[in-house]
Structure 1
């Protein structure tokens, strides 16, 4: 169905707000004047949506995360912002997107859907932070982009992301994440640009300009930059998705350091902001979660920093939920005693425009009917939300071409660029044979083509394209082993996705690595989703490299010198957990004797 025939089918007459010859301000005001309180309230909620197989609609509410279908939320609740969880082939996402746009056209005012997503171009698959991405180009995590440190590359990445999102109908990125990784134990470090505020500020500006352009327009993907005013300095590194991680602490009195990248995001024109779940402890601000915090949202973000864009809360501040079989209380940290209506009112009084992960617009309507909330306050937020839809061109061109999506997402050029970025981000930490090797002190990398290699933790068939794979360490010239940053497993279907706790390798895994290193010169590759504690490995390995999301082929390209590894550590690597515990959570580079410092990276 074309855009013209769809609108003709569902819309009997054209209203002024549908007239593209009028200014955006005129269109916004005309539409706003036609909306009921319920329709305005519907604008102010964005929650998770799930598509069916091959882009179909799911119409059994009992199978869906929050007990409502997209059809119900559009038709009955007046909602028109959705966060796509999961997905499928690009053409199927495009087909599903078009189907929900048709549902939106059937409503009284025909307000189009704004479809959003968590990151889809990296390696993380966590339903709370990043999405599975079939068919999309794949880059290292943003930590890897930070390791390369090239603002031009970040802008090129964001532009590719923009084009692939546009093709399937996604118009809002629930990223970039620009929290600073100053607390090594925090489970969300892999989504950041590392611990340095200056580097993060430089890269986020490039990211936003790549996604949005110099100004938001009809070819932009809007950015919801997060998590204002800077997550990361969590007490003991625990995450505020969970009650035990609700406290955000500043023992180094370093609040402004975490704020600095957000100033760069504002200067670059980010369209939206998301405050985090955490509650600030020991600062000038009230000790309630940032989404409820008027001093932070209105006083700091809107008045002091001058932001007049959309502020959307993080997901699930208002209502308790069951996520993947785990009961999750509302993240109403500091205001847990408030009723659901009082929480809603508190978020709006703080200065937020939209409730993430919620689908209860009837609560807003009830507050207006009870005289506790004015319609004029709704208009302030509705105006911002409507304006973005008009600026993005959604009213004029709500549909996408599924065939075009299939052709333009995950192109050979895009895939090649992602693979090359994976290789470039590899960080060489050590490159010298140990004392007990005949090549003592000599570089091991790059490896020569055809080298006899024993591999552990990577695909032998892939490795066979680079060297001669042997069955035992004793037969090898060199071993290559891939490991991941340790973590303490948590219980619960949802909680297990958040890798937190100790950064030390357990005794069994460490002994196996050290035994291999003692048997044959060994290249150890560690996936740094957080700063691993690895002094013994650093001492014993012939070469030690880090990656931040890298497939076997791109890693071997770097190890064998086919692509030059360019990474520098985006955070320091601590010597012990005692050192980690002694660090101040809000201060970068606070280790006393790191194994490798921030910015370390060798070349060959």
Structure 2
């Protein structure tokens, strides 16, 4: 067998030796490209999206794929959007072939936001589509079974691997302590102990016993959560479990003694002092998306989250983040800025090398230099396979949380059903669907958690603000509950204020992402709900406003406390 021409291409050499050999061959521009983890779209037929074509109509109308890879030297991308499984695998192979044809042939590391649940929010996660459908992480917390979470992580790993995703931009382990916050559905709830236990299982499922060629690297977020030591416990657990990457949050410390009041992504006290030195994390630190520029995001103007340093230029912001300890910039694609910082003497090339080493090392450890391509046939067999779909469907049923039951559940026979928010075709498999509540034996009503409309800009993609149903909507709901015995199922993407509904519903169930079939199977006794609330449900908006936003379960006299749930 002929020896490899270049040591970095020889899989028999130690990883560190390969890293140093490749690093020594790289130009400054090639190094700078590694420091950007930006977002790509693809064409529906699996071809590369280029500037001037589909890419200009998408949410990131900047440079085309070929330009980013060949001229910008970028090799880390986050795929935005949902596409066919075969088309995605073919796109991955085209992207990897493009990278293989560059001077050094550095393979692409492809990442994704969550793709295994019911939320479809292009700013944070995607509906499962062809992937197996599971409850949101809140639902996994409601079950509270680390073994199940590890199996979930392993399922994600296997489906991602088959399609070429090698970095999961999750798990999200902030604690859900503020009822008005928009990102709670991606968390494991309000308990630091539960979150710590489940994140260990999740990382094991994604990465295995150690990071390797069959792993998906976990980018844990959003560090450091609510900042108090209590909020740090899950991050300590993630680090102990060996998580490969960490994403600091958009937040900013206010009034923390000894800490500079600038955003976490630019904050040396947070990234170096706390994360690196105190907690001992030596993996990749990738900033949250869009800290440097005012690039358009999701088709809307997106102001950089440069809290405390808004007056600085893009180059000055980049330098500040590098000085703080960041390795990579999420959602950005301006490597020329890094080149100029080094050439001007503002940033030493040795500092760039330190981050590039971490980034290259992960590529070698993941085996990307040896196995960058995927098999489209294998991808189609794996994604949404019967085994994974069955596991997800069972988890949906287990996660459902029965909050009240006034002798309604389990249902029997074939009652006349009036349904809202439930597919009539599905409901007809369980009862006789009627169009008028007056003709029904009972009603099944599915509700979404209320939120405040905030149109325009990036925030419009998230549900935040008051968790109280509007007066007119509440009147409609209570009218139905007065007219007919009603099973109410409320989707808890965050806590909801519902004392009146809880008082009048014949049964009240919470879901965190579950199909109509899952709900009705539980309602008719064909499956068992095991869920317990992963956070408390407050009694009023006044109680929410009076609570401390960084303290778990802190509202006065909640309607249902943390951990509540009935057996049926």
Q: Same fold (TM over 0.5)?
A: yes
Q: Which residue among 224, 232, 237 is the counterpart of 1:259? A: 232
Match in the other structure for 2:36? 45
- The answer (yes or no) to whether the contact 1:41–1:362 under 8 Å persists in 2 is yes
Q: Which residue among 13, 20, 24 is the counterpart of 2:11? A: 20
Pair 1:122 & 2:95 matched: no
Match in the other structure for 2:369? 395
- Give the secondary-structure state (helix, strand or coil) at the position aligned to 1:326: coil
- Give the secondary-structure state (helix, strand or coil) at the position aligned to 1:483: strand
- The answer (yes or no) to whether the contact 1:88–1:133 under 8 Å persists in 2 is no
- Residues 237-258 of structure 1, C-alpha deviation per residue, up to 9 Å, x if partnerless? xxxxxxxxxxxxxxxxx71111
Match in the other structure for 2:276? 302
In structure 1, C-alpha distance between the alignment counterparts of 2:134 and 2:517, rounded to whole Å: 13
1:493 Cα offset (Å): 5.6
In structure 2, C-alpha distance between the alignment counterparts of 1:365 and 1:135, rounded to whole Å: 41
- Residues 40-83 of structure 1, C-alpha deviation per residue, up to 9 Å, x if partnerless? 11111010000101211112343341411111100000000000
Match in the other structure for 2:441? 477
In structure 2, C-alpha distance between the alignment counterparts of 1:66 and 1:455, rounded to whole Å: 43
Match in the other structure for 1:184? 179
Match in the other structure for 1:223? 218
Q: TM-score, normalised by structure 1?
A: 0.91
In structure 2, C-alpha distance between the alignment counterparts of 1:581 and 1:215, rounded to whole Å: 44
1:16 Cα offset (Å): 0.9
1:357 Cα offset (Å): 0.4
Match in the other structure for 1:5? none
In structure 2, C-alpha distance between the alignment counterparts of 1:45 and 1:562, rounded to whole Å: 50
- Residues 211-266 of structure 1, C-alpha deviation per residue, up to 9 Å, x if partnerless? 00011010000000000001xx5xxxxxxxxxxxxxxxxxxxx7111111000000
1:132 Cα offset (Å): 4.2
Q: Any unmatched runs of 5+ in structure 1?
A: 1-7, 234-253, 433-442
Pair 1:72 & 2:67 matched: yes
In structure 1, C-alpha distance between the alignment counterparts of 2:298 and 2:172, rounded to whole Å: 24
Q: Root-mean-square deviation (CA), in Å?
A: 1.4
1:468 Cα offset (Å): 2.1
Match in the other structure for 1:510? 474
1:13 Cα offset (Å): 7.1
Deviates most, 167-176 or 463-472: 463-472
Q: Which residue among 91, 96, 100 is the counterpart of 1:101? A: 96
Q: Which residue among 263, 283, 286 is the counterpart of 1:289? A: 263
Match in the other structure for 1:408? 382
Pair 1:570 & 2:534 matched: yes
- Give the secondary-structure state (helix, strand or coil) at the position aligned to 2:182: coil
- The answer (yes or no) to whether the contact 1:325–1:492 under 8 Å persists in 2 is no
- Residues 298-332 of structure 1, C-alpha deviation per residue, up to 9 Å, x if partnerless? 00000111111000000000000222442211110
In structure 2, C-alpha distance between the alignment counterparts of 1:189 and 1:488, rounded to whole Å: 15
- Residues 79-99 of structure 1, C-alpha deviation per residue, up to 9 Å, x if partnerless? 000000013111111100000
In structure 2, C-alpha distance between the alignment counterparts of 1:322 and 1:382, rounded to whole Å: 27
Q: Which residue among 537, 549, 559 is the counterpart of 1:585? A: 549
- The answer (yes or no) to whether the contact 1:478–1:522 under 8 Å persists in 2 is yes
Q: TM-score, normalised by structure 2?
A: 0.97
Pair 1:212 & 2:186 matched: no
Match in the other structure for 1:246? none
Pair 1:269 & 2:233 matched: no
1:451 Cα offset (Å): 2.2
- Give the secondary-structure state (helix, strand or coil) at the position aligned to 2:62: coil
Q: How many aligned positions are there?
A: 562
- The answer (yes or no) to whether the contact 2:468–2:498 under 8 Å persists in 1 is yes
- The answer (yes or no) to whether the contact 1:90–1:134 under 8 Å persists in 2 is no
1:495 Cα offset (Å): 2.5
Q: Which residue among 511, 533, 538 is the counterpart of 2:497? A: 533
In structure 1, C-alpha distance between the alignment counterparts of 2:299 and 2:333, rounded to whole Å: 19
- The answer (yes or no) to whether the contact 1:66–1:321 under 8 Å persists in 2 is no
Pair 1:172 & 2:167 matched: yes
Change (3 A) 1:591 1:544: same
- The answer (yes or no) to whether the contact 2:34–2:76 under 8 Å persists in 1 is yes
- Residues 442-481 of structure 1, C-alpha deviation per residue, up to 9 Å, x if partnerless? x211111412221111111101111222222222221110
In structure 2, C-alpha distance between the alignment counterparts of 1:328 and 1:290, rounded to whole Å: 18
- The answer (yes or no) to whether the contact 2:302–2:458 under 8 Å persists in 1 is no
Match in the other structure for 1:111? 106
Q: Which residue among 42, 50, 57 is the counterpart of 1:63? A: 57
In structure 2, C-alpha distance between the alignment counterparts of 1:112 and 1:258, rounded to whole Å: 36
In structure 1, C-alpha distance between the alignment counterparts of 2:413 and 2:192, rounded to whole Å: 40
- Give the secondary-structure state (helix, strand or coil) at the position aligned to 2:214: coil
In structure 2, C-alpha distance between the alignment counterparts of 1:525 and 1:38, rounded to whole Å: 54
Q: Any unmatched runs of 5+ in structure 2?
A: none
